[in-house]
Amino acid sequence: MADQALLLGVAPLRAIELGFVPRINEVGRAFRCQEMFLPDRVRAGEAMKAAMAALQGAVGRAGAGGRAADGSPRVSRRPTGAGS
C-alpha cells in the first residue's frame, strides 16, 4: 500500500499520518479489547515496518528543497536572537 500511495502522488508523511498511524492505532485498540489476537498484531506490525521502510527514502527526498514533505514551507525550529 505504501508503494501505491507513492505512485498516486500522496506525500509520504501524509500517507503515514493519515493512513498508517490510524490503522496501527486501531490494531492496538482491537488487541486491548481482545478483538484481535497476537499473531494478527504481529502481522500488522510487520506490515507497518515494511510500509515505513518503503516510505523512508521518499520522506527524505520529499523534504528537500526548503519544503516539508507535505509541500508546506519548512519552518526553522532553531531559537533566534542574542545568545543563540
C-alpha cell at 69: 514533505
In a domain, 51, yes or no: yes
In a domain, 45, yes or no: yes
Residue range of the domain that includes 40: 6-59
Give residues with Cβ within 8 angstroms of 26, minimum separation 6.
none
**Structural domains counted in the chain:** 1
In a domain, 12, yes or no: yes
- Are 19 and 1 spatial neighbours (Cβ–Cβ below 8 Å)? yes
**Whole-number pLDDT of residue 1:** 81
Q: Cell 523534504: give the residue.
A: 63
Is this structure's pTM higher than 0.85?
no
| Residue 44 banded pLDDT, cuts 50, 70, 90 | very high
Across the chain, mean pLDDT equals: 80
40-46 mean pLDDT: 95
